[in-house]
Amino acid sequence: MRLRDDIELLRSRIGLMGYLLVAILGVLVFGFWQLQVVQSSHYSELAEKNRIKEIRLVAPRGKIYDRNHKVLADNRPSYNLILIRENSPHTIDETIAMLVNGIGLSREDLLQKINRKGKDPSYQPIVLKEDVGVGDLAYVMAHAYEMPEVSVEYQPRRLYREGRLAAHALGYIAEVTEAQLLDSPNLKPRDQVGKTGLELIYDSILRGVDGSRHVVVNNSGREIETLPDEIPWVAGNDLYTTLDFDLQKAAEDALGDRVGAVVALDPRTGEILVLVSKPAFDPNLFASGISGLDYASLRDNPDTPFQNRAIQSMQPPGSIFKVFEAAAALESEQITPLDRVYCPGSATYYGTRLGCWRPAGHGSVDLYGAIVDSCDVYFYNVGNLLGIDRISQFAKMAGFGRKTGVDLPNEIAGLIPSEEYSRRVKKMAWKPIETIMVAIGQGQIGVTPIQAAYAMGGLATGGRLKQPRLVEPGQLRKLGFESPAVQTDQYQIHESTVDTVTKAMWGVVNDGGTGDSAKVVGFDVAGKTGTAQVVNKSSYKKGSDTEDHAWFLGFAPYRNPEIVVAVIIEHGGHGGIVSAPVARAVLDAYYKKKTGNFNAGTAEKVARLMTPVP
Amino acid sequence: MQLRNPWHDFDWVLFGAILTLSAISVVEIYSATLYGQEHSAAFRQLIWIGIGTVLLFIVAAMDYHIISEQIPWLYLAGIGVLLYTLALGRMVSGSRSWIVIGPMRFQPSEFVKIIVVIAIARYLSELREVRYLSLEQIIKASLICGIPIVLVALQPDLGTTITFLPILGVGLLIRGMKPIMLIVLVLIFLLALPLSWPFLAQHQRDRITNFVNPEQDLKGSGYQVNQSKIAIGSGGALGKGVFKGSQNKLGFLPTRHTDFILSVVGEELGFAGVAVTLGLLGFILFRAVYTAQSARDELGLFMVMGVFGIYFFHVVENVGMVIGFMPMTGIPLPFMSYGGSSIMAAFAAMGLVISVRRRRYVN
């Protein structure tokens, strides 16, 4: 039968499979025999000293210096307690039970920290406590044998030597978030990265490259040998900023606890000398892992300490805007410096009676007098002649209403209105009376302190606008990083216009004007005070919130200026009384340094004397 | 052919061998997960074994001819499930090879393997008038096996993909080919290996270069096999004792309750434990060879040899891997590694073997 013959043949082939099975099983058993009987002692030895563990050698971050090589952001040694679950002879609960007695953390805290990282691979260390003290270190060292899963890890930590000083310029660092990890292939879990300020903008320059070391750990989890394949870390690059510590300190001391901002820069180069925003936070809190409570109290503070007021807060400029108003009017030939306007203490435009800040009136004033005494009626008149579009056109050209391009994150553009803006955004026609308000820097207009300093520098140097910078690009290029050059914008303005306006600003400070408390003997300071009315006063209830914002915008010397200072104190009152002295503290320190008479103690004393007693 | 008594001539010896292996498996899985994350793995393995046993008895009670008659729709259903898995399956460590039904996850490819065994067996057993397979027949048989292979390869689950190949290989070898055809096929296979290199992921290439040169990277891709060898070697002749393997306990062993379960056996039960385990696995495979030889017809013969092909390959690859004789792939050790789908599929496959054995006498 055909079927039978066929199946017999197949059966014989199956028999061959059986032999193949015997042969292969024989080889495999031989393999095990070799490992387990012949070479068993060799492998037992390997098991004894097993386990190659990688230890991360954290690279120190580059330091941040001021322009005179004074350290602002430094590093210090610190230790973290870490848990590595992979080898643990204990359950998480057992580990926690053993730790709770020794280190000052509650069961819930520990559990929360572990659970937050619960999905990470088990060889990945979980930080239980950052920046521990000697007591915790001793406890963990003493119990290393019972708790091989808990160990101590070295980590260089950021130290902001001056605490809150220049906090908004420096920014802070913290552990990388998961979103950042996905975005950037260069980052590893647990990296410390810049979150804001210079730390964020120049993160890739400041951050070093971590190294590694392999250690052999025996069965009980103890390190018994270091392998010779250590890869050393490469430190991050140091960053030299344009900030001047002495000036910064003078400004911060002079501002005290008041809410506001100070920006000082060199109009010739755009280098920022001072950048203050108050209230500030202490960036050191983030360096050692800010507690939830500390963070919440900062976040919920109504004075918004995280906001960098120097670049992120726009306020009506008040009378400091009159300087630009005057320049716009001269440039468009609507007025001459000699034109006089009679100020009876008020004027009526479009059916509304508007008062001058001095109810008695200034009498007949020319441009010089109008700026020196900050006459509102004069500038109502100028604003009316110019019209909103000519005002906004000049303001934008002068540097307002757009970002200055400073090397800090999240700068805002401010607001310069125009008829077109009013139609497009507010969906209503521009009212001529609003022009009159804008003419004295009130109403629909917003300026940041850095814009004020930037625009002032441009105007005072004949229309040359230098992009403000905290780090000079050449320095970065030397380190091998790409960095675009400082941007310079030049707009057309007559020398006579610049002369007329700056001369009047000199008068504000030195000729019995509103800004005489900014005077520095020997240093020709020019400036303009501003007092911006707080709108919707009725919506504020508490006392100081109804006060006006106090501005001072000045520069020195008034010929060939070297430094521009912008000061705003929110709800501070009158610019000439509260803000001008702060600017003076900065200018005085600058002048003393320049002439070689500076010592740190004097600056502090001056600041104290100049600060009005509340 | 319906047997009157469902217990008639049941292969209790084979079943006993399977249960003994399962017992070792549960104990060592318990040991392997004692300090890890999946504390309940041993308990779950017990449940899979229970379900598997039920499946084994159901399949063994059925006439394999009746199962074979269902093959057209079974095969299509299998393809359908693989397509569903590709489209909507759960992504686990880079491959889409799981589907989720209620609280349970399945790897459909494990069950599709059994379907392919039956389909190939039916096709080959119906070719009666030929001494040697023609090229056309070889291509047809390859297609039956090839469609599911492509779908599994797309998941992409390369380990499982490879485990389909022995079904076809064993079937073709036993059915018979002209020697020249055999040589050509072997040559094509050997040539295809280097051509597949560009399609492999980096970790797969690492596994192969590391297999060729095991000492090159003991901290990276060679780590797992090296740790496995240390565990096995340090176990010695009699082992360190159950629950006492330091390699196992300290977590030096990778995926130790699944792919590397034999390393845990080697460390804790020593050469003796490995010999018993391999002996039982060898016995099961021999039982399949013997059953195939005594099958009453070609359908039964090819079915059993298909099952043999799958598990022979699993054993060779997994056991070879843990001692560095074979490159690393994620192929479980039958009846030993933790895993619901593979355990249930293996028990069902053994049910098929028993079903053939029970009907070996022509009455």
**pLDDT tens string B330-344:** 889 999 999 889 999
What's the ipTM? 0.91
- Written as one letter, the residue type at A537 is K
> To the nearest whole number, what is the mean pLDDT of chain B?
86
List, in sequence order, the alpha helices (H) in A72-220: 92-102, 107-116, 134-142, 167-170, 178-183, 197-201, 203-206
Residues paired with A194 in a beta bridge: A173
Whether A299 and A306 have beta carbons less than 8 Å apart is answered as yes
- Contacting residues for A94 by C-beta, under 8 A, at least 6 apart: none
Predicted pLDDT of residue A597: 79
pLDDT of residue A540: 43
Global confidence as pTM: 0.61
Task: Determine the pLDDT at residue A408.
Answer: 95
pLDDT along chain A (614 residues), means of 10: 65 90 94 92 78 78 93 91 76 83 81 80 78 86 82 87 93 86 80 92 92 70 72 92 95 93 96 95 86 87 92 93 95 92 91 89 92 93 93 94 94 90 84 90 93 96 95 88 88 94 94 88 92 62 66 92 95 87 94 84 59 50
Alpha helices, DSSP H, located in A419-512: 419-425, 432-439, 449-460, 473-478, 495-510
CA A512/CA A531 separation, integer angstroms: 18
- B312 interfaces chain A, CB cutoff of 8 Å: yes
Burial level of B246, CB count in 10 A (0-12/13-18/19+)?
buried
User: Inter-chain contact A27–B325, Cβ cutoff 8 Å?
Assistant: yes
Nearest to B271 among A15, A36, A47 (CB): A36
> Could you list the pLDDT tens digit for every one of the 363 residues in chain B?
556 676 778 899 999 999 999 999 999 999 888 766 577 889 999 999 999 999 999 999 999 999 999 999 999 999 999 999 988 887 776 778 888 877 777 889 999 999 999 999 999 988 876 678 888 899 999 999 999 999 998 888 888 888 999 999 999 988 888 888 888 888 888 887 777 777 777 777 777 777 766 665 554 557 788 888 888 998 889 988 888 776 776 667 777 888 899 999 999 999 999 999 999 999 999 999 999 999 988 899 999 999 999 999 999 999 999 998 888 888 899 999 998 899 999 999 999 999 999 888 754
Distance from CA of A58 to the nearest CA of B (A): 20
Exactly one of A319, A374, A483, A517 is catalytic; which is it? Answer: A319
Using the Cβ of B323 and the Cβ atoms of chain A, whether some distance falls under 8 Å is answered with yes
Interface contact flag, B274 A32, Cβ < 8 Å: yes
CA distance A416 to A430: 13
Six-digit token pair at A217?
């750990």
Answer yes or no: do B246 and A11 touch at CB < 8 A: no
Q: Which helix (H) or strand (E) holds B79?
A: helix B71-88
**pLDDT given for residue B37 in this prediction:** 59
Q: Beta partners for A261?
A: A277, A568
Is A319 noted as a catalytic residue in this protein? Answer: yes
Q: How far is B267 from chain A (nearest CA, A)?
A: 9
Confidence at residue A49, expressed as pLDDT on a 0 to 100 scale: 59
